[in-house]
């Protein structure tokens, strides 16, 4: 009754760990939720107010999305990247995840995934019957592939079409890609399409975010949305910005959208206009300062001869490797931590690593972002005392992990 390719799939690891954590809490256990990557911050007040104002809107909107919203997004992306985008290049979906799925379904070719990659890229490839290739990376290159490794893969079969998925800042590593120009040379040489997943781009800890579209604009589909920088994951609104050179893909995605979700919720789309039109600089600066300070606290507290990881560069995550843990799989390792210390995190195998590598992802977001943000200014220096006051579960979770590591 069920297709074999579907039978072999599991629930999305991030959603499953969130449900498991909630169920354990209902049983009375005090779980530290380092497994689920959800923004801890409230949606900006201006955006919430626009949702209230537009809650009565009930009509179906354009398949591609509300024109005023697409214009706002095109303007927002144009200012960020110094380019000249237009509303016809934008397509709105119920989260960027759904748009990625439509892209997988439309694309006739093979998928290139860096190890590590977000948990849903691979399952979507499988559902769409697209062959996928893992490309090895290294911590020295911030867990991104070298241009040479991409080229070597393509040269094995130059007759194929390839889609490279690049996520920077990265989930799960928390790193930024620093060899974008080198990768873009290979992209242009072999006409590779790039899906640039920029959902964490506003949360880069450095001053300026750099997109691969800077170097190979005509090959790049930009993906973004409201879930991370705007704290609106449950609103389910994302977008793709697709260059004119790839409009055939955009048109195919519109056909699939018309036969699946039809159009995104009208009140959400009207409210989202204010997210991209208004100035949220203070909100974003506070968000970044808090996330950076919390992640660096966890990083400095855990790194040791037994725990190695790269310093966080953006987004929500750290990706430690536990050198003194000797389980058969990273899943067993994470289960051991959850059972012994009530700390939930995700195993590296969910992101493409071999099961015997003792790597995991920590999401540094288990705190009340509204309280934290309400008690600081954009220029507040966030020290350990503030973290203890407003992110006590992060402090406690870090202590539990340290104790677990030391008792190995």
Please count the other Cβ atoms lying within 10 Å of the Cβ belonging to residue 384.
Answer: 12
Q: What is the DSSP string of 326-340?
A: --SSHHHHHHHHHHH
- For residues 175 and 116, give the distance between their C-alpha atoms in angstroms, rounded to a whole number: 11
Q: First and final CA of the chain: distance in angstroms? A: 46
Hey, is 12 helix, strand or coil? coil
Q: How far is CA 391 from the centre of its chain?
A: 22
Instruction: Say what percent of the chain tops pLDDT 70.
Output: 100
Residue 271: pLDDT band with limits 50, 70, 90:
very high
Q: What is the mean pLDDT of residues 382-400?
A: 97
CATH T-level assignment (fold) for domain 4-43+281-406? 3.90.1150
- For residues 81 and 66, give the distance between their C-alpha atoms in angstroms, rounded to a whole number: 22
Q: Indicate the pTM of the whole model.
A: 0.95
Residue 24: pLDDT band with limits 50, 70, 90:
confident
Q: Which of 16-20, 247-251, 371-375, 401-405 has the lowest mean pLDDT?
A: 16-20
Considering the chain, tell me which residue range(s) the CATH 3.40.640.10 domain(s) occupy.
54-277
Give me 221's structure tokens.
Answer: 């589909």
- For residues 149 and 123, give the distance between their C-alpha atoms in angstroms, rounded to a whole number: 23
Hey, is 113 helix, strand or coil? strand
State the Cα torsion 219-225-230-235 to the nearest 10°: -170
pLDDT tens-digit map of 148-193: 999 999 999 999 999 999 999 999 999 999 999 999 999 999 999 9
Considering the chain, tell me which residue range(s) the CATH 3.90.1150.10 domain(s) occupy.
4-43+281-406
CATH T-level assignment (fold) for domain 54-277? 3.40.640
Q: Which of 16-30, 62-76, 381-395 has the lowest mean pLDDT?
A: 16-30
pLDDT tens-digit map of 92-140: 999 999 999 999 999 999 999 999 999 999 999 999 999 999 999 999 9
Mode of pairing for the β-strands spanning 343-344 and 32-33: parallel
Q: Let me know: does 174 contact 296? Beta carbons within 8 Å.
A: no
């Amino acid at each position: 009754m069920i297709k074999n390719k579907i039978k072999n799939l599991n629930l999305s690891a991030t959603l499953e760990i969130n449900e498991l954590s909630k169920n354990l809490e209902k049983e009375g256990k005090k779980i530290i939720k380092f497994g689920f990557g959800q923004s801890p911050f409230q949606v900006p007040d201006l955006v919430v107010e626009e949702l209230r104002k537009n809650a009565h809107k009930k009509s179906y909107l354009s398949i591609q999305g509300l024109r005023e919203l697409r214009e706002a997004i095109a303007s927002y992306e144009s200012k960020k990247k110094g380019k000249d985008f237009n509303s016809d290049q934008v397509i709105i979906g119920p989260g960027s995840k759904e748009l990625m799925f439509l892209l997988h379904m439309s694309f006739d070719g093979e998928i290139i995934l860096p190890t590590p990659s977000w948990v849903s890229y691979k399952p979507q490839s499988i559902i769409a019957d697209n062959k996928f290739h893992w490309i090895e990376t290294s911590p020295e290159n911030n867990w991104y592939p070298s241009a040479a490794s991409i080229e070597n893969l393509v040269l094995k079969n130059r007759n194929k079409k390839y889609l490279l998925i690049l996520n920077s800042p990265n989930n799960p590593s928390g790193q930024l890609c620093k060899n974008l120009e080198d990768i873009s040379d290979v992209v242009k040489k072999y006409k590779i399409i790039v899906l640039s997943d920029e959902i964490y781009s506003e949360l880069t800890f450095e001053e300026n975010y750099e997109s691969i579209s800077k170097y190979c604009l005509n090959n790049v589909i930009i993906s973004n949305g409201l879930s991370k920088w705007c704290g609106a994951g449950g609103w389910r609104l994302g977008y793709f910005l697709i260059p004119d050179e790839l409009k055939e893909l955009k048109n195919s995605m519109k056909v699939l959208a018309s036969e699946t979700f039809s159009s995104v919720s009208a009140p959400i789309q009207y409210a989202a206009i204010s997210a991209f039109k208004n100035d949220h600089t203070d909100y974003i600066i506070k968000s970044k300062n808090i996330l950076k300070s919390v992640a660096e606290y966890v990083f400095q507290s855990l790194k040791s001869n037994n725990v190695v990881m790269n310093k966080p560069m953006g987004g929500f995550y750290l990706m430690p490797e536990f050198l003194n843990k000797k389980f058969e799989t990273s899943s067993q390792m994470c289960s051991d931590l959850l059972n012994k210390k009530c700390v939930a995190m995700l195993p590296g195998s969910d992101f493409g690593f071999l099961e015997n590598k003792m790597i995991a992802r920590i999401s540094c977001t288990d705190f009340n972002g509204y309280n934290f943000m309400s008690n600081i200014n954009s220029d507040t220096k966030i020290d350990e005392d503030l973290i203890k006051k407003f992110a006590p579960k992060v402090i406690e979770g870090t202590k539990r992990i340290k104790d677990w590591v030391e008792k190995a």
